[in-house]
Amino acid sequence: MRIVIATSNAGKLRDFAAAAAVYGVDIAALAHFKSLPEAVEDGATFEANARKKSELYSRYAPGELVLADDSGLAVDALGGAPGVYSARYAAMEAETVTAGEDVDAANNALLLCKLADVADAERTGRFVCVLSLAVDGREVASFRGEAKGVILHEARGGGGFGYDPLFYFPALGKSFAELTAEEKAAVSHRGAALRKMLEWTRSESP
Protein backbone atom coordinates (compact mmCIF):
# COMPACT_ATOMS: atom_id res chain seq x y z
CA MET A 1 0.00 0.00 0.00
CA ARG A 2 1.10 3.55 -0.71
CA ILE A 3 0.02 6.61 1.24
CA VAL A 4 1.01 10.11 0.23
CA ILE A 5 1.67 12.53 3.06
CA ALA A 6 1.06 16.24 2.68
CA THR A 7 3.99 17.65 4.60
CA SER A 8 7.50 18.94 4.09
CA ASN A 9 8.42 18.37 7.74
CA ALA A 10 11.28 15.87 7.72
CA GLY A 11 10.64 14.93 11.34
CA LYS A 12 7.04 14.00 10.64
CA LEU A 13 8.03 11.99 7.59
CA ARG A 14 10.53 10.00 9.68
CA ASP A 15 7.91 9.35 12.37
CA PHE A 16 5.30 8.22 9.86
CA ALA A 17 7.72 6.00 7.95
CA ALA A 18 8.93 4.29 11.13
CA ALA A 19 5.39 3.60 12.34
CA ALA A 20 4.17 2.40 8.94
CA ALA A 21 7.13 0.14 8.21
CA VAL A 22 5.82 -2.70 10.40
CA TYR A 23 2.66 -2.73 8.27
CA GLY A 24 4.55 -2.87 4.98
CA VAL A 25 3.10 0.48 3.97
CA ASP A 26 5.07 2.80 1.70
CA ILE A 27 5.05 6.40 2.88
CA ALA A 28 5.74 9.02 0.22
CA ALA A 29 5.86 12.80 0.39
CA LEU A 30 3.45 14.73 -1.79
CA ALA A 31 5.36 15.88 -4.87
CA HIS A 32 6.14 19.59 -5.11
CA PHE A 33 4.45 20.17 -1.76
CA LYS A 34 6.27 23.44 -1.09
CA SER A 35 5.02 24.94 -4.34
CA LEU A 36 1.36 24.17 -3.62
CA PRO A 37 -1.09 26.66 -2.09
CA GLU A 38 -0.88 26.71 1.70
CA ALA A 39 -3.86 25.44 3.65
CA VAL A 40 -5.41 27.99 6.00
CA GLU A 41 -5.20 26.41 9.45
CA ASP A 42 -7.85 28.48 11.19
CA GLY A 43 -9.79 25.61 12.71
CA ALA A 44 -10.49 25.52 16.44
CA THR A 45 -9.56 21.85 16.74
CA PHE A 46 -6.86 19.49 15.49
CA GLU A 47 -9.59 17.61 13.61
CA ALA A 48 -10.72 20.69 11.70
CA ASN A 49 -7.22 21.68 10.64
CA ALA A 50 -6.24 18.17 9.59
CA ARG A 51 -9.33 17.94 7.41
CA LYS A 52 -8.67 21.29 5.77
CA LYS A 53 -5.21 20.12 4.78
CA SER A 54 -6.08 16.63 3.56
CA GLU A 55 -9.00 17.80 1.44
CA LEU A 56 -6.96 20.59 -0.14
CA TYR A 57 -3.83 18.60 -0.92
CA SER A 58 -5.60 15.45 -2.10
CA ARG A 59 -6.78 17.48 -5.09
CA TYR A 60 -3.15 17.58 -6.24
CA ALA A 61 -2.73 13.79 -6.21
CA PRO A 62 -5.73 12.39 -8.10
CA GLY A 63 -6.78 8.93 -7.02
CA GLU A 64 -4.22 8.74 -4.22
CA LEU A 65 -4.84 8.28 -0.53
CA VAL A 66 -3.52 11.55 0.86
CA LEU A 67 -2.80 11.94 4.53
CA ALA A 68 -2.50 15.20 6.41
CA ASP A 69 -2.10 15.72 10.11
CA ASP A 70 -2.51 18.39 12.69
CA SER A 71 -0.68 17.82 15.90
CA GLY A 72 0.56 19.65 18.91
CA LEU A 73 1.17 19.79 22.62
CA ALA A 74 -1.58 20.42 25.14
CA VAL A 75 -0.33 21.38 28.62
CA ASP A 76 -2.81 21.02 31.45
CA ALA A 77 -1.48 23.91 33.53
CA LEU A 78 -1.87 26.21 30.52
CA GLY A 79 -5.46 25.26 29.83
CA GLY A 80 -4.51 23.08 26.89
CA ALA A 81 -2.12 25.58 25.30
CA PRO A 82 -0.29 25.77 23.00
CA GLY A 83 -2.72 23.30 21.38
CA VAL A 84 -3.54 24.04 17.73
CA TYR A 85 -1.06 26.91 17.88
CA SER A 86 1.87 24.68 18.85
CA ALA A 87 3.89 25.27 15.68
CA ARG A 88 3.58 29.05 15.92
CA TYR A 89 3.39 29.46 19.69
CA ALA A 90 6.29 31.89 20.04
CA ALA A 91 5.46 33.70 16.81
CA MET A 92 2.14 34.73 18.35
CA GLU A 93 4.14 36.69 20.92
CA ALA A 94 6.38 38.52 18.46
CA GLU A 95 8.56 40.05 21.12
CA THR A 96 9.85 36.60 22.08
CA VAL A 97 11.17 35.81 18.60
CA THR A 98 14.13 37.49 16.95
CA ALA A 99 14.94 37.44 13.25
CA GLY A 100 16.53 34.17 12.22
CA GLU A 101 15.79 32.44 15.50
CA ASP A 102 15.08 28.73 15.37
CA VAL A 103 11.32 28.23 15.60
CA ASP A 104 11.50 25.07 17.74
CA ALA A 105 13.96 26.72 20.12
CA ALA A 106 11.75 29.80 20.43
CA ASN A 107 8.64 27.71 21.09
CA ASN A 108 10.42 25.63 23.72
CA ALA A 109 11.82 28.73 25.42
CA LEU A 110 8.38 30.30 25.63
CA LEU A 111 6.87 27.11 27.03
CA LEU A 112 9.52 26.93 29.76
CA CYS A 113 8.90 30.58 30.58
CA LYS A 114 5.16 30.00 30.91
CA LEU A 115 5.77 27.02 33.22
CA ALA A 116 8.54 28.59 35.27
CA ASP A 117 6.47 28.71 38.47
CA VAL A 118 4.48 25.52 37.93
CA ALA A 119 5.18 22.67 40.34
CA ASP A 120 6.43 19.34 39.01
CA ALA A 121 3.20 17.55 39.86
CA GLU A 122 1.23 20.00 37.71
CA ARG A 123 3.47 19.93 34.64
CA THR A 124 1.41 17.24 32.92
CA GLY A 125 0.44 17.36 29.29
CA ARG A 126 -0.16 15.32 26.20
CA PHE A 127 0.87 15.25 22.61
CA VAL A 128 -2.12 15.01 20.27
CA CYS A 129 -2.13 13.96 16.64
CA VAL A 130 -5.14 13.85 14.33
CA LEU A 131 -4.74 12.25 10.92
CA SER A 132 -7.15 12.99 8.11
CA LEU A 133 -7.27 10.73 5.09
CA ALA A 134 -8.77 12.12 1.89
CA VAL A 135 -9.20 11.12 -1.72
CA ASP A 136 -9.86 13.63 -4.50
CA GLY A 137 -10.81 16.46 -2.17
CA ARG A 138 -13.06 14.53 0.22
CA GLU A 139 -12.18 13.29 3.70
CA VAL A 140 -12.93 9.62 4.11
CA ALA A 141 -11.79 9.11 7.70
CA SER A 142 -9.89 10.67 10.60
CA PHE A 143 -7.94 9.17 13.48
CA ARG A 144 -6.74 10.59 16.80
CA GLY A 145 -3.79 9.51 18.91
CA GLU A 146 -2.44 10.84 22.21
CA ALA A 147 0.65 10.36 24.37
CA LYS A 148 0.66 11.55 27.97
CA GLY A 149 3.74 12.87 29.69
CA VAL A 150 5.37 15.57 31.81
CA ILE A 151 7.04 18.80 30.75
CA LEU A 152 10.67 18.94 31.86
CA HIS A 153 12.46 22.00 33.23
CA GLU A 154 15.13 21.77 30.53
CA ALA A 155 15.68 20.01 27.23
CA ARG A 156 16.94 16.44 27.16
CA GLY A 157 18.12 14.50 24.12
CA GLY A 158 19.31 15.38 20.66
CA GLY A 159 16.71 13.60 18.57
CA GLY A 160 13.15 14.36 17.61
CA PHE A 161 11.83 17.79 16.78
CA GLY A 162 9.43 20.41 18.09
CA TYR A 163 8.72 20.00 21.79
CA ASP A 164 10.22 16.48 21.96
CA PRO A 165 13.23 17.50 24.13
CA LEU A 166 10.89 18.84 26.84
CA PHE A 167 8.33 16.02 26.77
CA TYR A 168 9.19 13.33 29.32
CA PHE A 169 7.53 9.93 28.89
CA PRO A 170 7.44 8.28 32.35
CA ALA A 171 6.89 4.71 31.14
CA LEU A 172 10.29 4.70 29.39
CA GLY A 173 12.06 7.20 31.63
CA LYS A 174 13.12 9.30 28.66
CA SER A 175 12.17 12.44 26.82
CA PHE A 176 10.78 11.97 23.33
CA ALA A 177 14.06 13.38 22.00
CA GLU A 178 15.94 10.53 23.70
CA LEU A 179 13.89 7.76 22.09
CA THR A 180 14.99 5.74 19.09
CA ALA A 181 12.77 5.92 16.03
CA GLU A 182 11.36 2.50 16.90
CA GLU A 183 10.67 3.42 20.53
CA LYS A 184 8.97 6.62 19.51
CA ALA A 185 6.83 4.91 16.89
CA ALA A 186 5.58 2.49 19.54
CA VAL A 187 4.46 5.11 22.08
CA SER A 188 3.96 8.40 20.29
CA HIS A 189 0.71 10.18 19.51
CA ARG A 190 1.57 10.03 15.82
CA GLY A 191 2.28 6.30 15.96
CA ALA A 192 -0.99 5.65 17.80
CA ALA A 193 -3.04 7.60 15.25
CA LEU A 194 -1.25 5.98 12.34
CA ARG A 195 -1.86 2.47 13.67
CA LYS A 196 -5.58 3.25 13.93
CA MET A 197 -5.54 4.47 10.35
CA LEU A 198 -3.67 1.43 9.06
CA GLU A 199 -6.09 -0.92 10.80
CA TRP A 200 -8.95 1.00 9.20
CA THR A 201 -7.46 0.71 5.73
CA ARG A 202 -7.15 -3.04 6.22
CA SER A 203 -10.80 -3.33 7.18
CA GLU A 204 -11.84 -1.22 4.19
CA SER A 205 -9.81 -3.21 1.68
CA PRO A 206 -11.77 -5.49 -0.65
Cα 121 off chain centre by: 25
- Please count the other Cβ atoms lying within 10 Å of the Cβ belonging to residue 131: 28
Angle at 129 between CA 192 and CA 144, to 5 degrees: 60
3-state secondary structure of 157: coil
3-state secondary structure of 31: coil
- Distance from the first to the final alpha carbon of the chain: 13
Active site includes 136? no
Exposure string over 105-120, b if 16+ CB within 10 A, otherwise e? ebbbbbbeebbeebee
Q: Which of 69, 70, 104, 164 is catalytic?
A: 70
Sign of the CA dihedral 73, 29, 206, 47? positive
Residues 6+ apart with CB under 8 A from 203: none
Q: Could you list the active site residues? A: 70
